[in-house]
Amino acid sequence: MILDYLRTNPDAGDTLEGISKWWLNLGKIDVKVDEVSSFLETLVKERKVKRYVIKGDTPIYKICRDV
């Protein structure tokens, strides 16, 4: 669902909490933040999603442009 959202909205990017609350809640998915974090880390390792660090060391996640 995260990749689908990012493919549909390629300029989108958000924090772990934002993805958990807004992106997944829109689909009425009941998932824990820890599970989202683990899945995002897998997507980062697979180079499907890129993690950027913004001020205050807060990571945001965006789709890799070649996905």
The domain total for the chain is 1
pLDDT for the residue 26: 61
What is the H or E stretch that residue 25 is in? helix 24-26
Q: What is the model's pTM?
A: 0.80
Contact in structure between 6 and 24 (CB atoms under 8 Å): no
| Domain boundaries, position 48 | 2-63
Q: Which two tokens stand for residue 64?
A: 């890799």
The secondary structure of residue 5, as a DSSP letter, is H
d(CA 19, CA 1): 11
Give the CATH number of the domain where residue 15 resides.
1.10.10
Tens digit of each residue's pLDDT (9 = 90 or more) over 1-39 = 888 888 899 999 999 988 888 887 766 666 788 888 999
